[in-house]
Structure 1
Amino acid sequence: MIARTFASVALAGAVVLAPTAAFAETYPAPDDALTCSATVVDQGQTFDCTVEGPNGASAQLQTTTSGDDATIAGTVTSAPKTIVNNVAEFTVTAPGTAGVIGISAIINGEAVDTASVNVAAATGGTDEELSSTGFENAGLAIGAGVLLVAGATTVFVAGRRRANVNA
């Protein structure tokens, strides 16, 4: 009887976990993507941005900022770089004023992805702000919940059958 219960639980687990593969995220990032090495930087700090796309394509970064520093206020587009090994890397220097930098990846003249980086006001201390985090595995949580319900149902049904056989 215990062997059948374990077999039922194993079968229910296999049935429940098979569809959760559809919830899995795909890595690496899809083609034509923009990723930056930081989400928060101090004034005047540098950070890297990577544009992913097809080999041989022309990639540019376009940044939009506002502030008192006339050399960086407004929209600035970088010189084009050729994508090699599906990657083009850019180094960006944050402006001298706090705010948000809007960054767009341009491949062959067409904007394909965006990102933003917050420029923090200089505090003079050594405290570093933690990056924001989030839960990215909702598929796993849903799969675990379904597996829990399936297991409980299997135990309930097996108990009812045993009660009917003993009666």
Structure 2
Amino acid sequence: MPAKRSAEAQLGLPEYRGHSRIERLAFGLLVLFIAGALLGLFGDGPLSHTTATSADGQVRIDYQRFCRRVTPQLLDITFPVPAGADSIELAINDEYLHGVQITETFPQPVESSQGQSAGKLRFRTEGNSKSMSVRVHLRALEAGLLDARLQVGPPGRPKEVSFRQIVYP
């Protein structure tokens, strides 16, 4: 009985020998790209949401590590209120402020000002409160890296937190 010939051999075509290296590499890159997208590498997802804390761990900022230009996003800032403090200042460095547009702040600050190297927001506190949260709604204005440095605390005694965001076009 003669050996069966493949369809390729019957048509005079070279025999298929499997996927080329380039095809396997392209497929692997596609799988990595899709996995990254699902995990939040390009927007919302577990890789995108993160927290930055001050050196002593008392000030915490929840933010998106990866975001898109002009897309609304949040900074949730939580910090302790010292006993007897009647106000708290939040200072945001100029470099970060030039790259974003703050659309809303909750609670509303009682005063806002522009210093030499930072924008400052002052909030009233309730003397008996143990901690306070501030939510800042903003939009990134340009693609690239945004380096933020926030100082939070009573006037003259701030705690500093730094973080970096990657803004996609």
TM-score above 0.5, yes or no: no
| TM-score computed with the length of structure 1 as normaliser | 0.29
More strand by share: 2
Question: More helix per residue: 1 or 2?
Answer: 1
